[in-house]
Each structure stands twice: as structure tokens, then as C-alpha cells.
Structure 1
Amino acid sequence: MKKLSLLLFIMMVSVLIAACSNSTNESNTSTEATKTAKTETSEPVEVEFWHAMSDTHEKWLEDATAKFNAEHENVTVKLVNQGSYGDLSQKLLAAAKAKTSPTIAQAYAEWMTDYNQNNLVVDLAPMINGENGFPADQSYEDISEVFRNDNTFGDKILGLPFNKSSRVLFYNKKYFEDNGLTPPTTWDELAADAKVLTKEIDGKKVVGMGFENGMGSEFSLWVEQAGGKFVDEQQGKVLFNSDAGLNALTFINNMLKEGSARMAGEDGYMSGPFTRGDVAMYIGSSAGIAYVAKDAGDMQWSTTTLPKGVEQAAPFQGTNITMFADSSEAEQTAAFEYMKFLISPENTVDWAKTTGYLPVRESAQKGSDWTSFIEANDPYQAGNEQYAYGFIDVRLPGSFAMKTAIQAELDKMLYDNATPAETLKAMSTKAQEALDQAK
């Protein structure tokens, strides 16, 4: 069947090329009409999209997909919710072994590295660079560089960005204003403000700074800001056992030991203590803005860009959409149209407004629709300001195991009084072991 499909595909392309060569003098309107026709299929095609969205995020995806399906007569995108990201990852691996992969799925870049090594995913570069690639007014190069980098593997492009977020500093505006403070812009200011705000406020015991329990997954943030390097992705070598890494751990440890900072602990996530007024500020995902807004009530709060260490650095995280190679040519063509649709300027802004994730296109980030929205909704501004110094997570196989190993050793400093130097050495050793085992 695949050979027959390929033959039909080649014949169709030949006819279309001939048609184009005979119409070079036609108007731009005719050219666009021909281009649109080529993206349609005369036979019904179903695209299966596995995802891990829930609540408001899933509702937006359902509505957008319904709109796409209505606009494409012979294409049906079928959404399949696979639970958590962990569940999605396991189900994608099982499907790959059984050769029952969906057409497309959400995937972190580290998953895509593994898929690429096993020839499971499609290189989108030929589609992007082909005649049915992105329209001129929303080109591939319009996608922010940090997100293009996340999907680029050598000379291959293995996905398009979807739900992308950055870490930002959430802060209680009233606490800051009442104490004559402005949001911190440096580590020194962060530490100083945390001390001032660690006290009883309005009859409530407040701690100045909060750290998420999963700090191991964002340790790269602190290393990069301290002027160091986290991992050499080309060599698969851990680099954070350095002066910069030690400075980062010492900075965090000092705040915790003196009591001006706390972990989320039994609360699970720091958004809980923050919205209760128990913590004056914390670093969290911009995608958490909607959740904070939901629970904050009439509390005065906002976000600001990450305080700077030696360097300014902000991690950008989240999944991409990748395409699996055992799908048919017709499915791949239809899926690519859907992927482009999801990140059109209009849709990426609407997605960002609804969810707290960030627009993935530069034109969208600078357009009046988004800029007027963030002017009226202050907490959304910080993430938008960090593109210039954003970086992406390590994409090596074993990256998740590496972060788990880092967290296990980090907990010994956070809860068992291990020194920063001891912790850094152990973290580095375990992290390297995790990456080596995945090779």
C-alpha cells in the first residue's frame, strides 16, 4: 500500500508541477489558489494526535481542532489524551515498538533525540522548505530562534514548537510596596529582599522566597546565571561541577539556612503558599499564571523577569509536536497543515492568552494583539521580555534520568545538611552516570 501511495503521490506532484509551469504569468491570486488546492486531499485522511493537555489547555485544543477540521473537508484530526507527560512518553515508546505510533504527538526534545536515533520521526525540513511550506507572512524563520533550536537536530527539523513557557519571578505586590521595595533584578537584591520580607505581615508569618520541590529540574537556570555551563550536549559531558555551580548551590543554601527562603514541601507546588500569602515571591513557570490567578482572589501580585546573577539567562521549556515516520504520505501532509495551523500568529496568541504559555512567533510577540493584551495583563509581560537571553534544556537521551539523579543528591543538601561542595560533586557524578547509561 505504501508503494502504491508513493506512486500516486509522485504522479500527483508531476501533474501539479506541470500545471504550475503553464501558469507562471497568472496573478498572485491564482497562485495562492493553486497552492491552497495542493494542501487538500481528495480522499478522507485521519490524523491522530496524542497529547497530555488537560482542563483549560485541553478545551482550547479541542476548539482549535474542531475549527481546523471544519475548514478541511477531507481531513479529520483526532485528539487522544494520554494522561500525564510520563504516561504519554511510555505510551509512545510502546506504540513505536508495536509499530502503532500516532501521526503526531507532543514530545519534549530529549524524547525526540531518542526517536531520531531510532528513525522513528520525520524530518520536516523538506516540507518546511517545499512549495507548501509556511506562507510568506508567517515564515518558519518567524518562529523564535530559541524554539527553532529546540527542534533542530543537525540538518534535520524534527518538530514545531507548541506549548512553550519560561521561568519568571512571581511576587506579592502589596508586600513589596508596603516595605518600600521594588522587584529584585539581581541575586543580591533577591537575597536582600527575601530577608526584609521574612517577618510577620498582617498577623501572618511570611517567608521572603520560595523554591519549588523539583529544583533539580531547574538547576541549569542557576548554573547558567552564575556564568557557568550545565552540560556539553555535543560531548554528552556534565560541566556544572565548577565554581559557577558551587556559587549557585551556596547562594540557594545560604537563603534556606538563614530562613529567608523555604521549599514548597508538603504543599507540593509553591503557588499554594504564594496565593495564601505565606511566601512573598517564588520562581515558577509562566504557564502557572492562570493557576495563580485562579487561586489568588483579590491578592495584588504580578511577575517579573528572573533576577540576574553573573549573566542573564532564562530557560524556555515545554513540548513540541513531532511527526512519526510510519504514517502515510497523506497523513503526513495533512498533519503538517494542522501543525502550521496551531502556530499561526492568530492561534499562538490566543493559546498564550488562554493558558499562560508564550507565543512562539516573533511577529506574534510584537504584534498589537499580544502587546495590548500584556499591557492590560501585567503578569504576562515578564516571559515576553526574556526571549533575548533564553536557552533550552539538555536534549540528550537520559536527560530525565539525569534530572532525577540531580534531585536525589540535591535533597541531601536541602533536607539532610550535606554541604554545597559535597552535593555538587555527588550531583555531577550521578548526572554523568545517567547520561552515560543512556548512550
Structure 2
Amino acid sequence: MLDLTGPYGIHHLPYGVFAHDDEAPRVGVRIGDDVLDLAGVEAVGLIDSAGAFGAPTLNPFLAQGRAAWAAARARITELLRDQSDRLDGLLHPVAEVTLSMPFAVGDYVDFYSSEHHATNLGKLFRPGAEPLLPNWKHLPIGYHGRSGTVVVTGADIVRPCGQRKAPTDEAPSFGPSTRLDIEAELGFVVGVPTGLGQRVSVDDFAEHVFGVVLVNDWSARDIQGWEYQPLGPFLGKSFATSVAGWVTPLDALSAAWVEPPAQEPAVLPYLTGSVNQGLDITMTVEWNGTVVSRPPFAPMYWTPAQQLAHLTVNGASVRTGDLYASGTVSGPDRDQWGSFIELTWGGAEPVTVGEDKAERTFLRDGDTVTITAAAPGPDGTVIGLGEVTGTILPAIGG
């Protein structure tokens, strides 16, 4: 029997791209510990996606828009509730499939939307000064990342090399990063594109965004610290960003929307709307098998809809498959901080991880980080967002 009630139950139905045996990658939906082959379902005439489910990415389906997303979800729900022999041979155990990138990333933007995270970093980087810079509460700060280095969960992460310069060094040096970090984030996947010059309002967020995906934005803090002034993140961020293999549709999160924190001073009109909401999602960060943090998304100062509105307010277009991430998710308490630079307070206060109770400040070669998350579903159910995991490999050269 299929598990219709668990974290990947019928109330959830996240989409991914999978391969079984030596067959080509195609679109599937997760139900419990199984994957429903939607390309196979379409091939036998049980659903119609105009061929989108046979593609090696979700992009053709994402581009079809909300009506198509809703129709597919309703039909998949109907088929799974029926549990007839019509689905024989079309369900595969998750443990027997290989996940690939669920969508082809067009552009990647990373925001900086947690007041707790920004305040912590401000205290670390600018001791004695105001933690938040003057513009932080007026607009969602972000930067344009590198789409070509977004990888799916399970991909190994090669330690990056670059220039580093500690405050006590007379000159910069080159070599492998020694302050390799993570950022636990939530990503938003664009379905319906916009034209150049077109703005997306806060209230039109759900007309363009298909769903959410867990993100780990790996960060080389020593490279970042030397390069980020005056233009911001570059090589310290662009070497790798990991995403989960499952994309949770917004329609699955109806019970998870919450009021966001009050914003003071009042934001400009283009950042307001009648459906401007946050999400009640709690992440879990494991470092070599040890839970070190449980960051909550609900306190994020800037909402997903505000981020998209700001991203497009200058007329910048979005494309199907575009990914924008929330920035590090951190709560008010230490065990809710979503980066290791915070958890270890800049490397000054190690944490203990793994079966060998080893002390860590930043990531060492061989370390593995896994991020999971949960959200409330309808009628007391739970939604489990697909995990994102990666293991650090030694630098190449150096």
C-alpha cells in the first residue's frame, strides 16, 4: 500500500526528475517512499501534459502555468487515491532511482533576508558599529549568483581555491579556502516568465512561482571576506550551490503561510500587497550526522513575494526555471542559526560533531552536511521538504 499520509503523502506530491535502471531521466512525483513515473502515466493515457512529463527537466511543465499545475495535481491525486492496477509498473522505490537536477536554472539570485543572520554578521564583521547597514530595512538585499554551478543533492563539493587575506596579513595569498561554510536557505522556482520591462507585484507572486526547494549556498568566508568590498559576493559564493531533488508546489503549502514580522520603517508601496506572507517552515542542519541547528523560516524579515517584486521592479525579466533563494535562514537563538560562521561565532567557539565528537569551526575535507525541513500540512499533516546534502572533497591544485 502507498503511504498517503506521511511527510511525502498525497497532500504534498513534490516533483522531481529521476532515472530508473538505464532509462532516460523524466519527471516523477514522490508519494511516500515511491516515485510515480509521470512520463509513464502519460504514455498509457492516464494524464495529459502535452509531453512535458517526458522531458529531462521540469521546465516545460513549469512554463505551462497555474491552471496546468492545478489540473495535473488534481489528476495525480485522483490516480493515487484510486490505487488501482492502472499504476502497475509505474511506481518505483525512491531508493532505486537516481535524482538529477529537477529544473534547468536560468538565472540564480540570492537574497539576504534574515534580520537575525544579518545582525549576527554585522556584529562579527563590524564590531562596535550598527549591525545593520542603513538600507537593509528598506529593500531586500541580494546579489546575482552563478546558475551554472547549481547542483543537485548528493553532488560532492570540491573545496574552492582563491585569494585570502587575514587582517594581520601584509598581502593576500592564494590557496584552498580554510573557512568553508554553509548557508541553509529556501529557494523559489519560477514557472511563468515575464517580459523585459515587466514588473511582478507582491500579489502576483503565485502566478509566477511554481514551488520551493531546499538550498545550501556553500560559502568560502575567507575568499568572500577579501573580495566582497566594494561590490559584494563573487568567487566566495560562485563555486557551488546545492538544491534538493524535490520541488514542493506552492499548492501543497496552503497550511504553512503565516503573517511575516512587522516591518519598520514602512516599506515603499511596490513592496506591499494583500497576500504578502511568510512560511512556517523549520529546517534541520546536520553536520557529520549531528544536528547542530534548527533554523525557522517564519521570522524572515523579507517575504518571498517581496523578493520577487524587488527583483523585477527595475524591469528585469524572469525566465522559466529561474531560482531565487532567501538567504541564510537564522532565528533569534543560537541553535537556530543557519550558517557555521554564526554557530562558531567566526570560528572562535567550536562545535562538536560526528560519532568521534570532533571539534569543528569550519568544514574540513570529508565532512558531510545535510539539510532537511518540515512544514505544516492540511488537517494536522506534515510536509517534509526533500533533503539537500553534500560532502566536501579536497581542493584541486592550490
Q: Same fold (TM over 0.5)?
A: no
Q: TM-score, normalised by structure 1?
A: 0.25
Rg comparison, structure with higher value: 1
Q: What is the TM-score of this pair, normalised by structure 2?
A: 0.27
Query: In proportion to residue count, which structure has more strand?
Result: 2
